[in-house]
Amino acid sequence: MATEFVKSLSDGVEGKLHIVMFPWLAFGHIMPYLELSKLIAQKGHKISFISTPRNIDRLPKLPLEYSTSITLVKIPLPKVDGLPENAEATMDIHTKDIVYLKKALDGMELELTSFLEKISPDWVLHDFAPYWLAPITTRLGISRGFFRIINAWFFAFLGSTDMMLTGWTNRPPTPEKFMVPPKWIPFETKAAFRHHESKWIVEGMQKNVSGVSDLYRTGATIKGVDVIIIRQCREFEGQWLKLIEDLHHRPILPVGLMPPPLHYINDDNSETWACIKEWLGKQTKCSVVYVALGSEVTIGPTEINELAHGLELSGSPFFWVLRNPSKSGNLDHIELPNGFEDRIQDRGIVWKSWVPQLKILSHESIGGFLTHCGWSSIIEGLMFGHPLIMLPFLVDQGLNARILEDKEIGIEIPRNEEDGSYTRDSVSSSVKKVMVEKDGKKIREKAKEISSIFGNRRLHDKYIEELIQFLEDHRKMSNGHSS
């Protein structure tokens, strides 16, 4: 229980910050929050990192250097009808059941409030979901920030704070509304959703079983915070940062791209990595396509078949991470096309468990990254200069693909506009273009060039220093600190 940690957390070092982190219950959110926690803790500040018991237990073990600066705090997730037993993160459930997870998170309010009352932190940095936090932190004199792990263009696409709160003037638009750039974007952009992607935005504007819409959650969260912190940098699409400041009338603080520390690459001597490294070492330099669609994407049998046949037809060596879904309930076991693994055994691997992604991407044999276009995966791929073969599925991923294709650092696999289906031929031709064809040379070169931004450790460390300076300068006086 959270109260077990209270006494040790109260004994803060004079002048140092005590920050509570409260990410949304998805590991695509939890892990960037944990990485930011480490970056802040390295500067001597104290972090209380809050999630549910099962999510905390699934986190990678923290290095010893954080044993006194980061405290992992478990707050139980209340039971909610419709949410399967032991489901505490989006990866545990079907997409349609995520609304019940939001309702359950709302039930954490009382215990979270009690925890904040007892430890009196300087700041709470939280995600979009706890829209009810502002009155609590205001009463307690705690500064609050919205840490947005998704990039700036998706944020801007959703409109102003008032538009979010009113559901776009109470008349939710049709999917077609999202298939062109919004009128409030004052510069040219390819940011637009496909028809099959935009349906979920319309759904996100509807009130769900939690009592509010997803869009309202985000708007209420923004309205209640002192600052919006976003995983973006001015050197890459900086015009979007200015736009979201104009839309939301809040200070916008880019935290940089937070590329993972390179020491992660050198501290794994596991049998898993030894086996993978041996196979990669036998491949030609820059010849292998790394294929990974993240932990949140569940693709159906037809999509798996077409992707498999496409990789086979491409002729390129590939390393495909294809993990069984961990969702609760009865989901189909992943099945590859008949005889596929036998046919590709000389030039391809299908790996069905966890892999050290960063280490694989850093290997010299990797020449391209077939990705679902999650922002964290994009950052990891581009920090090593890998051109992207893009197959987006959820939330911001479609916009990411449009922006990056327009920048000529990757190409999007062509799909059916209406249902999002793709074919083996579209997969194969996309892989060939990025990996070997003359037409893809510019893409390969530009991806290498952009690594000077995405992999620039000094640049992104400077953003973290600016963030910490802001947090130090703007903590509330009611906590007994000068501001």
Q: How far apart are CA 57 and CA 439, in angstroms?
A: 47
Which of 65, 68, 37 has its CA nearest to residue 51? 37
Which positions ≥6 away from 47 have C-beta within 8 Å? 18, 19, 20, 21, 37, 40, 41, 69, 70, 71
**441 in Cβ contact with 369 (< 8 Å):** no
Annotated catalytic residue: which of 92, 127, 214, 226?
Answer: 127
SS3 261: coil
**Hey, which residues does 88 pair with through a beta bridge?**
none
Farthest CA pair distance, the chain: 68
Phi, psi of 136 (to 5 degrees): -70, -50
**What is the SS3 assignment for 70?**
strand
Range list of β-strands (E), 335-435: 348-351, 366-371, 388-390, 410-412
Q: Is 127 a catalytic residue?
A: yes
Contact status, residue 84 vs residue 97, Cβ threshold 8 Å? yes
**DSSP at 107:** T
Examine the residue annotation and report whether 196 is marked as an active-site residue of this protein.
no
CB atoms within 10 A of CB 340: 18
Report CA 227 to chain centroid distance, whole Å.
20
Among candidate residues 18, 29, 363, 372, the one labeled active-site is 29
Q: Looking at the annotation, which residues are catalytic?
A: 29, 127
